[in-house]
Amino acid sequence: MSSNIQSIVEKYGKNETRLMDILHDVHCENGFVSDEEIKEIALLLNISKVDVEQTLTFYHFFSKNPRGKYTVYLNNSLVAKMMGRDEIAHTFEKATGTKFGTVSDDGLFGLYDTSCIGMNDQEPAAIINGIVFPKITTYRVKELVKSFRMGSSVQDMINSFGGGQNQSELIHAMVTNNLNRRGAVIFSDYTPGEGLEKLKSMSPEDVIAEVKNSNIRGRGGAGFPTGLKWDFCSKSPGDEKFVLCNADEGEPGTFKDRVILTERPSLMFEGMIIAGYAIGAKQGILYLRKEYEYLKNHLEFVLNEFREKGFLGKSILGIDGFDYDIRIQFGAGAYVCGEESALIESCEGKRGEPRNRPPFPVQVGYLNQPTIINNVESLSSVTKIISNGSVWFKSMGTKESSGTKLLSISGDLKYPGTFEVEWGMSINEMLEMAGASDVKAVQVGGPSGRLIAPNEFHRTICYEDLPTGGAMIVIGEGRSILETVMNFMDFFIDESCGSCAPCRYLTVILRNKLKKIIDGKGVSKDLEEIVHWGKQMKIANRCGLGQSAANPILTSIENFRGEYEAKIEKGKDYDTEFDLNSAIIESSRAVGRFPEA
């Protein structure tokens, strides 16, 4: 038994619900977790090997095999592709002599695709040994590979610092904020502690009433009223209650939480403390996506500062009995963990598979206790609601959508970045604001949202009209809608947890059908079938991922039917996809007889 694994497992109290942390720590040593190590972890936790393995094999950034001394995770999301990702991939392959999905023979380089890493405003981007390399060029790839071959560390290759806190000693990242527009809520003037100060004269019920009165709805995309969620949770019976902050922003095209985590972590942590006070929790957990690991020291520093100031710990702000602390829980590469019940499962050291409902997390959540899960932006907004009042908050936005919304705008436009706007802005105004022209389509809310055409650009961003978590992908004239949809379908296939039968395989069937159309082998019946089968996805699956996995294909057929029809074989209702000659090639070879051309 290696003493190292023993000390790691003991560090987490031999607690199997901390399996994610244990795997992260073990993984950190060698870049993979071996069968022998799996066995040791299982033995120490007194669980079966297959239980350790089922968590390990669920997450994209965990591996059972070495992934190279330098492990490159190159984003393959739509915007990365738009910005030239394929050429970068090709250059990596040529320079390292290995293909994506493999490790070079000398064990030096491992190349892997990865889903959106939250850098759509600075693509193409890759994560190499945890460090983000944005705006990679072919020149840079060659330089990196050459330097790594000569023994440079990944740290040595940091050649610039992004603006704001990115250049602070605790982050030192090349990532830029691209905060193109500050609004009145998230990125306005702020003094840490300004919201907490108000708690001294407010009861938990007052806090919930104030949040309810502000009409704030969840900023992650689902739009559930935050105050109502807190109210349910506070009234649910339980030995303990928990506040979970969802910082797993994995929807391709979103990156706004990254900017909050970089520039306003105190605002978010304060919101988590306010939430804890409101529902009577003792512990908060920030569930942070692994892609943002470069912010870890920065966030831990802020938490320590809070502890020193008495914002965390025992009797916070002198309020008797208000004991509360926050820990960071890292994910390991799984989009579905942004779904709240999957996030809970992951926090408990399990596969990130969404739970069945009922019961809801506010009743039975983390460790089976009442739990609220709120988005980074929602909790940050709450701090300002408590600080400035719900009336102030409601003075912004529209009737049903109060306050501001952060938009992550990327794709074909001049100024990709994060914009804080009041709810109620039209898509046309948004495009003008961000410097976009000749726009063919906008993907509102990322792949799980809607692909809209110019005839809908007059619509406004708000819950009454076009609700969104804020991911806005601008698709310029000249781009292929079908290729766009194909990228999204591949994304959903990669990220499906595999639990629900329709999500596990109907996604693949739909993708193959789309490929058939792109290859010019489609017939008009294919379109009808796609729509019919796609609709089943919406009703059949358990979670938002499965229910929305057909959205790109359905909304694009709805709004860009012409592009599909242009690819379809005219006047044929029989299938020409099957190629007899290629199907029998193997047996032809075996008998040495080939069909005449």
Partner 1 sequence: MSDKVKFKIDGKECEADQGLNLVEAAKQNGIYIPTLCHLEGVKAAGSCRICNVKINGRFMTACTTPVSDGMEVENSTEDIKELRKIIVETLFVSGNHYCPACEKSGSCELQALGYRFTMLVPRFPYAFEPKEVDAKSTKLYIDRNRCVLCKRCVRSIKTKDGKSIFAVKGRGHNAMINIDHELAAQMTDEEATAAMDTCPVGSILKKERGYFTPIGRRKYDKKPIGSDIEESVTI
170, HSE (Cβ side, Cα atoms, 13 Å): 14
| Least distance in angstroms from the C-beta of 360 to partner 1 | 13
**Phi, psi torsion values for 365, nearest 5 degrees:** -120, -125
What is the DSSP code string of 569-591? PTT--S-----HHHHTHHHHHHH
Considering only residues 467, 502, 522, 552, which one is a binding residue for partner 1 as defined by CB under 8 A?
A: 502
List, in sequence order, every residue forming a beta bridge with 127; answer none if it has no partner: 73, 132
Specify the DSSP class assigned to residue 502: I
First to last CA, the chain: 65
Nearer to partner 1, 46 or 191 (CB): 46
Nearer to partner 1, 50 or 391 (CB): 50
Considering only residues 222, 509, 583, 585, which one is a binding residue for partner 1 as defined by CB under 8 A?
A: 509
d(CA 347, CA 367): 9
Q: Which stretch binds partner 1 (CB under 8 A): 3-11, 191-199, 239-247, 491-499?
A: 491-499
Considering only residues 351, 384, 479, 567, which one is a binding residue for partner 1 as defined by CB under 8 A?
A: 351
Interface characters, 119-158, with partner 1 (x: CB under 8 A): ----------------------------------------
Nearer to partner 1, 150 or 539 (CB): 539
- The answer to whether residue 356 forms part of the interface with partner 1 (CB under 8 A) is yes
Q: Is 114 exposed, middle or buried (0-12, 13-18, 19+ CB in 10 A)?
A: buried
Contact indicator for 502, 473 with CB cutoff of 8 Å? no
Nearer to partner 1, 223 or 476 (CB): 223
| Least distance in angstroms from the C-beta of 11 to partner 1 | 23
If DSSP codes are grouped into helix, strand and coil, which group holds residue 418?
Answer: strand
| Least distance in angstroms from the C-beta of 91 to partner 1 | 28
Nearer to partner 1, 94 or 357 (CB): 357
Q: Which stretch binds partner 1 (CB under 8 A): 139-147, 169-177, 323-331, 508-516?
A: 508-516
Considering only residues 22, 174, 334, 514, which one is a binding residue for partner 1 as defined by CB under 8 A?
A: 334
Interface characters, 29-68, with partner 1 (x: CB under 8 A): -----------------xxxxxx-xx--xx----------
Nearer to partner 1, 172 or 515 (CB): 515
Contact indicator for 475, 439 with CB cutoff of 8 Å? yes
| Least distance in angstroms from the C-beta of 539 to partner 1 | 4
Q: Which stretch binds partner 1 (CB under 8 A): 268-276, 304-312, 415-423, 497-505?
A: 497-505
Q: Which stretch binds partner 1 (CB under 8 A): 70-78, 385-393, 439-447, 493-501?
A: 493-501
- The answer to whether residue 98 forms part of the interface with partner 1 (CB under 8 A) is no
Strand pairing category for 242-247 and 283-288: parallel
% helix, strand, coil for the chain, step of 5 = 45, 15, 40
Specify the DSSP class assigned to residue 137: -
The Cα-based distances of 160 to 73, 132, 397 in angstroms read 20, 12, 38
- The answer to whether residue 433 forms part of the interface with partner 1 (CB under 8 A) is no
Cβ neighbours of residue 129 under 8 Å, at least 6 residues apart? 70, 71, 154
Interface characters, 443-462, with partner 1 (x: CB under 8 A): --------------------
Q: Which stretch binds partner 1 (CB under 8 A): 223-231, 245-253, 354-362, 387-395?
A: 354-362
- The answer to whether residue 73 forms part of the interface with partner 1 (CB under 8 A) is no
- Interface with partner 1 in residues 536-555 (CB under 8 A): 536, 539-542
- The answer to whether residue 493 forms part of the interface with partner 1 (CB under 8 A) is yes
Nearer to partner 1, 212 or 504 (CB): 504
Cβ neighbours of residue 299 under 8 Å, at least 6 residues apart? 261, 265, 286, 288, 328
Q: What interhelical angle do 35-45 and 3-11 show, nearest 10?
A: 50
Nearer to partner 1, 315 or 512 (CB): 512
Specify the DSSP class assigned to residue 440: E
Interface characters, 218-257, with partner 1 (x: CB under 8 A): ----------------------------------------
Nearer to partner 1, 53 or 429 (CB): 53
Strand pairing category for 371-375 and 242-247: parallel
The Cα-based distances of 527 to 211, 524, 549, 561, 562 in angstroms read 46, 6, 17, 9, 12
Binding residues with partner 1: total (CB under 8 A): 39
Phi-psi region of 517 (alpha: psi -120 to 50; beta: other; left: phi over 0): alpha
d(CA 418, CA 407): 6
Starting at the edge strand found earlier in the chain, the sheet holding 450-452 runs 179-181, 417-422, 404-411, 471-476, 439-444, 450-452
| Least distance in angstroms from the C-beta of 23 to partner 1 | 14
Contact indicator for 379, 245 with CB cutoff of 8 Å? yes
- Interface with partner 1 in residues 166-225 (CB under 8 A): none
- The answer to whether residue 498 forms part of the interface with partner 1 (CB under 8 A) is yes
Q: Which stretch binds partner 1 (CB under 8 A): 187-195, 201-209, 415-423, 500-508?
A: 500-508
- The answer to whether residue 437 forms part of the interface with partner 1 (CB under 8 A) is no
Binding residues (CB under 8 A) for partner 1: these are 46-51, 53-54, 57-58, 334, 351, 356-358, 493-502, 504-509, 512, 529, 533, 536, 539-542
